[in-house]
Structure 1
């Protein structure tokens, strides 16, 4: 299982935005590209993935954030850039996902979605 966070961005994140978001997670992690470079992973010293970050998707369909995320996201303007960040359910991984998402939102505008914390996931933060 994973703990998923979605950054809903007002503009496509630049390379500089993505690098700043990676830096916001700390410097002790290895970074690798998988799936032909479509996914970036933060890994621990044993090369185990902690967080996987998908390539931004451009969402243009009106009502898509509402359909996918629920009524609290009915006001998300489209088009929007959707960046899915999946954290392992190990200690501290959801905080890494949140730090990455928060930095992207700080730089590109938008807001964050995450499921409410449950027994399989650690609390990551509140809706931004």
Structure 2
């Protein structure tokens, strides 16, 4: 349901931006570092929105990749700890003590 509201909100914002751009069709002067040009304001507005979306999307992707890498690292760490706990439990079982409790506090620590 949350995804549907995000889509509806995104479409609403896109419609508002499109209406705003369409009513501003006058030519404006755009100064570049290497020159000056006249562009319709609608293209300046839509280009600015498009570039802002690209920057925001790129920053979001970087955050997603970082979180995925951290998740992978934590899963690997958990797998190693479970393997160590299993081998410790196997050794305790061989000794005849099946009621051994393994106290592992490494998961409670901050990974950073």
TM over 0.5, yes or no?
A: no
Normalised to the residue count of structure 1, the TM-score between the two structures is 0.21
Normalised to the residue count of structure 2, the TM-score between the two structures is 0.23
Larger proportion of helix: 2
Q: Which has the higher contact order (CA 8 A, sep 6+)?
A: 1
Q: Which has the larger radius of gyration?
A: 2
Larger proportion of strand: 1
